Structure 1
Amino acid sequence: MQALETTALVAVIGAGAMGAGIAQVAAQAGHPVKLYDNRPGAAAQAVEGIDRQLGKLVEKGKLAAEQRSAIVARLQPVEAIETLADARLVIEAIVENLEVKHGLLRQLEEICAADCILASNTSSLSITTLAASLKHPERVIGMHFFNPAPIMALVEVVSGLATDPALAKALHATSKNWGKQPVYTRSTPGFIVNRVARPFYAESLRLLQEGAADCASLDALLRDAGGFRMGAFELTDLIGHDVNYAVTCSVFDAYYGDFRFQPSLIQKELVDAGRFGRKTGRGFYDYSEGAERPQAAELTSATDVASCVVEGDLGVAQPLVQRLKDAGVPVIQRAGSGLLRVGDAVLALSDGRLASQRAKEDGLRNLVLFDLALDYTKASRLAISWSADTTAEARDQAVALLQRAGLKVTALADLPGLAVLRTVAMLANEAADAVLQGVGSAADIDLAMRAGVNYPRGPLAWAEAIGIGYVLNTLDNLQRSYGEERYRPSLLLRRKHAEGSRFHD
């Protein structure tokens, strides 16, 4: 099947923020749209709200007045579900309740023509289960938009067990025509984004629980070193802890208690206290009027740096050497195993081991570990930790060297993997398992994470950039440190490393 013609009527059920946004997207693409809600007057109010939003775009010069009028003219609020009988595509965006959605889909099957596509915008419910009670389950599919739908590019096209493959192709092509970036995925818990994103929240929550640093410092590291738009704590405050925690619990339960998805007791406590984040005025941060936002912790040093020694290749952190040279630090190169020395300090990129463990195993005194960065030439902050025998003088020398490179330095407790490295390794691990289990292709999973949650790089492309073997070694070390299944490496990571192949070959 090809994409729906723009003459095809699209119906949207549910006039809340998501339903109204989807209706706007379809109308902007040229379709006539009927918007229905079982609350009297809600659909008409939603169309008025869309008109106001489009008016703001006109005022900013981002939309012509004629285009605004044409889009609104294509939007028709209706008060009876029976008026949707002539729709070619119906997208439901109602409450996330299985029984309620079941009832609606059964009703639509009786009302709409046999060739009408029945799509659900569910973010967590099984498309297979939603379709199972229908006479023709092959016509049911997931079309998961992200909020706000007019702005967010991603659409997950979700096939249930009975979904006609031709429908998936049609909605994939239709989503492209609507200006979106669609991906194919199977109906598995969390689909792509809500599954693969779990480690982004989970690792920061665990580091907080284990006393690695405070929220502001961990958020700053993910932003300033990892290149993410927001850190985990500010993002969950924005999403709402009631929503984010519920999704985590849903995925955890759906995977029969797999500890990779274990919910956080810290987040549960916020939910129990009613501290849902921005919408309640309090979450990890205080959003009340006049409240001061805490700042990230930062180490400083007045120690003078005369020169440094680079032993061997620093791997993914090699650009840091050029940054030091550009800052005027004399750099002496010699053979070695990938270490950076300044004064008495030995600096090394984390590999998932504790600093004290690595110092003992590798025979290194005054060891200071530093974290992964998305781009060492542009990062503005870097995390460090150090072994128990590292002197204050050696630590200061390491801080001074990184300061010379223009980096703010944030200390973490001696925990394996630091902040960015363990987060990226776990994201890549989950993405690899999703590919292994046929949830989506490597290309679609990377696209989903970039377009759906604005990651600076797809997790699998990131793993390739820093080395699949390096990611695998980090996960092995994390698993040994914690002794938990949570950090078990994906079989696909092991296979790719053993083959010497890539995800995107």
Structure 2
Amino acid sequence: MTALNTSARIAVIGAGAMGAGIAQVAAQAGHPVLLLDNRPGAAAQAIEGIDRQLGKRVENGKLSAESRSATITRLQAVEAIEALADCELIIEAIVENLEVKRALFRQLEGICGEHCILASNTSSLSITSIAAQLEHPERLLGLHFFNPAPVMALMEIVSGLASNPVLAECLYDTAKAWGKKPVHTRSTPGFIVNRVARPFYAESLRMLQEGAADCPTLDALMREAGGFAMGAFELTDLIGHDVNYAVTCSVFDAYYQDTRFLPSLIQKELVDGGRLGRKSGQGFYSYAQGSERPQAAEISSDAKVEVCAVEGDLGIAQGLLARLHEQGVEIVQRDGQGLLRVGDAVLALSDGRMACQRAREDGLRNLILLDLAFDYANAKRIAISHAAGIDPLALEQGVALLQRAGLKVSLLSDSPALAVLRTVAMLANEAADALLQGVASAADIDLAMRAGVNYPQGPLAWADAIGLSHILQTLENLQASYGEERYRPSLLLRRRVAEGRNFHD
């Protein structure tokens, strides 16, 4: 079965921001679209809003007046559900309530033809459960758009237990024809994105709770070292803490309180206090008029360093050497275990152990641990931690070397796996479990995280690039440090390391 023909009439039920956006996407793709809402006049108002938005794009030269006119002509507001009888695809975008959705689809079954595909835009409810009371549950699938629907490329095509695979392929092909980036996923809690993304928020929240660093520093590290578009605190302020916290609680409960998804008391307090982020004017940051964003903490050194020694292979951190060479630092190569020495300081990429533990176990005096960076050759900032009792001069020398490479340096408390490494390791671990459990393919998981939440790289491909053995070692050391199931490595990760294979092999 191929994509729906543009002559196929599509209906969207729910004229809120998401429903209106979905209707706009379908109309711009060439379909006649009916928009229905149970609030009198809401559908017509939504179409007027779409027209205004498209008008702004025309004014900015991003859309032709003809395209705007054609899109609006294809949109029609209707007031009765019976008007949807001859539609070939009906997408609901109403309240996230299981019984309300079930009742709507039962009603639609009695109105629509047998070849009409029924789709839910739910972001958290089970497609299997929604379809369970239908006479033909095979015709119901999830069609999960991301907000704002006209802008965000990702669409999750969600199959429940009874969903017809032929219809899933039809929706996949239709999404592609609409210019979207679709992925297939099974109907499990959170689907792909809302499940795999949980550690991105959870690890920053945990580091904040433990006093590893403050919000602006951790956010800056995610952006300037990790390559993410935003850090966890600025992103949750944008999403809204009521929304983000509710999703976390939903996934946590759906997985029977698995500690990997444990909600944060810090975020709960923000929700309880009405500090919901941008929309309330206060979250982790203030959005009051005239307020200024606090700056990330960083340390600097006036020490002069002109030579360093590299012992062995620095692995993914090798890009640092080219930066140092460009700045005229002499680099002496030696055999060894992947260490960088300058003066009395020893620098090493974190393996998940605390600096104090690694210094003692490996016999390394004046140890400075380096965090992960997405691209060491171009990163703007790096996090470090150091063992207790480090010689102040050695710390100065280590910081000075990183500054010579053009990096801003943020000092964290002695936390296992620092900031970016622990976050990426946990994202990869969750993605590995989703792959193991057949939620989606490796390619679709990575595409979903790039297109849905704008990650610089899919977590499975990122883990392949870092090295699965390093990711496994990091998680094992995190689990040993905390003594918690939260950091247990995925069985698939262990298996791939034992097999000497990557996730994408």
CA distance in 1: counterparts of 2:59 and 2:465, whole angstroms: 43
Contact kept in structure 2, 1:385 and 1:412, CA below 8 Å: yes
Q: Does 1:200 align with 2:200?
A: yes
User: Which residue in the other structure is 2:439 paired with?
Assistant: 439
Greater shift in the superposed pair: 314-323 or 442-451: 314-323
After superposition, where does 1:94-243 map in structure 2 within 5 Å? 94-243=94-243
TM-score (normalizing by structure 2): 0.99
CA distance in 2: counterparts of 1:13 and 1:395, whole angstroms: 61
| 3-state SS of 1:151 partner | coil
CA distance in 2: counterparts of 1:411 and 1:81, whole angstroms: 60
User: Which residue in the other structure is 2:320 paired with?
Assistant: 320
User: Which residue in the other structure is 1:408 paired with?
Assistant: 408
TM superposition shift of 1:323: 1.0
Alignment-mate amino acid for residue 502 of structure 1? N
CA distance in 1: counterparts of 2:350 and 2:291, whole angstroms: 36
CA distance in 1: counterparts of 2:265 and 2:110, whole angstroms: 45
CA distance in 2: counterparts of 1:474 and 1:316, whole angstroms: 14
User: Which residue in the other structure is 2:248 paired with?
Assistant: 248
Q: Residue deviations 1:168-199, cap 9 Å, x none?
A: 00000000000000000000000000000000
User: Which residue in the other structure is 2:276 paired with?
Assistant: 276
TM superposition shift of 1:306: 2.2
TM superposition shift of 1:102: 1.0
Contact kept in structure 2, 1:365 and 1:389, CA below 8 Å: no
CA distance in 1: counterparts of 2:419 and 2:48, whole angstroms: 45
Q: Residue deviations 1:29-61, cap 9 Å, x none?
A: 100000000001100010011111111111111
User: Which residue in the other structure is 1:265 paired with?
Assistant: 265
Q: Does 1:477 align with 2:457?
A: no
Root-mean-square deviation (CA), in Å?
A: 0.6
CA distance in 2: counterparts of 1:494 and 1:471, whole angstroms: 10
TM superposition shift of 1:79: 1.0
TM superposition shift of 1:162: 0.5
Which segments of 5 or more consecutive residues in structure 1 lack a partner in the other structure?
none
| 3-state SS of 1:318 partner | helix
User: Which residue in the other structure is 2:17 paired with?
Assistant: 17
Contact kept in structure 1, 2:306 and 2:328, CA below 8 Å: no
Alignment-mate amino acid for residue 109 of structure 2? E
Q: Does 1:46 align with 2:39?
A: no
Greater shift in the superposed pair: 320-329 or 234-243: 320-329
Q: Does 1:392 align with 2:386?
A: no
Contact kept in structure 2, 1:121 and 1:142, CA below 8 Å: yes
Greater shift in the superposed pair: 98-107 or 418-427: 98-107
Q: Residue deviations 1:373-426, cap 9 Å, x none?
A: 000011000000000021211111111110011000001000100000000000
| 3-state SS of 1:486 partner | helix
Q: Residue deviations 1:237-264, cap 9 Å, x none?
A: 0000000000000000000010000000
CA distance in 2: counterparts of 1:495 and 1:147, whole angstroms: 36
Q: Does 1:85 align with 2:90?
A: no
After superposition, where does 1:461-500 map in structure 2 within 5 Å? 461-500=461-500
Identity across aligned pairs (percent)? 75
CA distance in 1: counterparts of 2:312 and 2:388, whole angstroms: 25
Alignment-mate amino acid for residue 444 of structure 1? D
User: Which residue in the other structure is 1:380 paired with?
Assistant: 380
Alignment-mate amino acid for residue 277 of structure 2? G
Q: Which runs of 4+ in 1 moved over 6 A?
A: none
| 3-state SS of 1:34 partner | strand
CA distance in 1: counterparts of 2:467 and 2:154, whole angstroms: 27
| 3-state SS of 1:111 partner | coil
Alignment-mate amino acid for residue 178 of structure 2? W
Contact kept in structure 2, 1:204 and 1:232, CA below 8 Å: yes
CA distance in 1: counterparts of 2:29 and 2:85, whole angstroms: 21
| 3-state SS of 1:44 partner | helix
Q: Residue deviations 1:440-461, cap 9 Å, x none?
A: 0000000000000000000000
CA distance in 2: counterparts of 1:11 and 1:306, whole angstroms: 68
CA distance in 2: counterparts of 1:280 and 1:157, whole angstroms: 33
User: Which residue in the other structure is 1:310 paired with?
Assistant: 310
Which segments of 5 or more consecutive residues in structure 2 lack a partner in the other structure?
none
TM superposition shift of 1:322: 1.1
| 3-state SS of 2:171 partner | helix
| 3-state SS of 1:144 partner | strand
Contact kept in structure 2, 1:425 and 1:474, CA below 8 Å: yes
User: Which residue in the other structure is 2:360 paired with?
Assistant: 360
After superposition, where does 1:283-294 map in structure 2 within 5 Å? 283-294=283-294
CA distance in 2: counterparts of 1:422 and 1:220, whole angstroms: 16
| 3-state SS of 2:425 partner | helix
Alignment-mate amino acid for residue 149 of structure 2? A
| 3-state SS of 1:457 partner | coil
CA distance in 2: counterparts of 1:71 and 1:370, whole angstroms: 52
Q: Does 1:335 align with 2:322?
A: no
CA distance in 2: counterparts of 1:160 and 1:350, whole angstroms: 41
TM superposition shift of 1:2: 1.4
User: Which residue in the other structure is 1:8 paired with?
Assistant: 8
TM-score (normalizing by structure 1): 0.99
Contact kept in structure 2, 1:189 and 1:255, CA below 8 Å: yes
| 3-state SS of 1:228 partner | coil
User: Which residue in the other structure is 1:61 paired with?
Assistant: 61
CA distance in 1: counterparts of 2:32 and 2:391, whole angstroms: 70
| 3-state SS of 1:374 partner | coil
Contact kept in structure 2, 1:128 and 1:162, CA below 8 Å: yes
| 3-state SS of 1:134 partner | coil
Contact kept in structure 2, 1:320 and 1:377, CA below 8 Å: yes
TM superposition shift of 1:159: 0.3
TM superposition shift of 1:503: 1.5
CA distance in 1: counterparts of 2:437 and 2:494, whole angstroms: 15
Contact kept in structure 1, 2:154 and 2:181, CA below 8 Å: yes
Contact kept in structure 1, 2:141 and 2:160, CA below 8 Å: yes
CA distance in 2: counterparts of 1:39 and 1:70, whole angstroms: 26
CA distance in 2: counterparts of 1:391 and 1:484, whole angstroms: 33
| 3-state SS of 1:54 partner | helix
| 3-state SS of 2:347 partner | strand
Contact kept in structure 1, 2:371 and 2:382, CA below 8 Å: yes
CA distance in 2: counterparts of 1:309 and 1:389, whole angstroms: 23
CA distance in 2: counterparts of 1:94 and 1:328, whole angstroms: 61
